[in-house]
Amino acid sequence: MMHFSKGEVRGIALLAFLILLVALAPKIYRQLTPDQSFDWEYTHLVDSLDQLSTADKKPYNYSNKNYSDYPKREYNNKYNSKRTQSRPKEEIAIQLVEFDPNTADRQTLLQLGIPERVVGRLQNYRSKGGKFYKPEDLEKIYGLSSELFQTIEPYIQIKQEAKKEWPKKWDNSTSKKDSTKTWTKKSFPKKEIEPININTADAAAYQSLRGIGPAYSKRIINFREALGGFTSVNQIADVYGFPDSTFQAIKPFLILEENPTITKIDINSVNKKELAAHPYISFKKAAAIIKYRDRHGAFTSADDIQKLYALSKQDKERIIPYLEFNTNE
């Protein structure tokens, strides 16, 4: 804790008093001194009012002012002249005559009793390509009253334009019956479609059939090789993506020998992977067949395949022709 001597304490107190005095000096001065600026402003205001009251109130003489230096505003003069000068209205005697609203001039329309503003709209409509095709079309002009239309309707005569005859690109003056020129239909010999053996036909033979291209012929041959040969003509329909309509169209031209040569699978020696490679046997079905063989021993005939519950009746009918049952140890 700091300790000050009596002299230091007196010095600090004096310094604080001086700071406070300097801060309050302006306020004390304003309180003690009268506001002379207010008196001056008040005196100035009174003098100004006196001058206004004693001033001469005669109107300003504008005749002494020279306006030659100012440009004339001609547009105002023109505008004022148009407003001050009233245009005499053109008196037209009403006269009902036959007219065509597509061609009648302004004078004719006015003589019919049509107001001038309506005549202007009608002419504007025609200038933009508008046409009147029947008397009722005149009612579409805005401002034409129904009473006036009923009055002039009997006098409307619209001229019908003749239809344009377009030039013909060929002479069709003579009909086919009267024509002396005879046309003979050219006949082409029909292509004979030869039946093909589905197990021996190559890609070219398949492509000779209607609707079979290189893609379908390749798919058929690949499917045949994966199966080991076809055992039925209907197996062509099992080709991936092959349309049934195309199959029905070519079916009459597909033949199969009575005892086709088929590559068979030895069901008792094949493994699961090889068996699942056949298009009609999935990996799950192959696993079920191998599992049954491991539990019950070798298959001796197709009757053993019939005991497999994992295969449907259709599955059994499709795969049995491709299986052989070798029981030789």
Q: Which domains does the chain have, with CATH numbers?
A: 106-155 (no CATH), 196-255 (1.10.150.320), 265-324 (1.10.150.280)
pLDDT at 90: 57
Nearest-angstrom CA–CA distance, 177 and 323: 72
pLDDT tens digits along 202-220: 999 999 999 999 999 999 9
**Among all chains, which residue has been given the structure tokens 């008040």?**
42
pLDDT at 84: 47
Residue, of 166 and 7, whose pLDDT is higher: 7
CB of 193 within 8 A of CB of 232? Answer: no
Structure tokens at 86: 């009233």
175 band by pLDDT with thresholds 50, 70 and 90:
very low
CB neighbourhood size of 204 (10 A): 10
Q: How far is CA 44 from the centre of its chain?
A: 80
Q: Where are the alpha helices (DSSP H) in 231-282?
A: 244-250, 272-276
Which range, of 182-191, 271-280, 286-295, 298-307, averages the lowest pLDDT? 182-191
Structure tokens at 181: 């020129």
CB of 182 within 8 A of CB of 220? Answer: no
pLDDT tens digits along 245-259: 999 999 999 999 888
Nearest-angstrom CA–CA distance, 23 and 17: 10
What count of residues does the chain have?
329
pTM of the predicted model, to two decimals?
A: 0.43
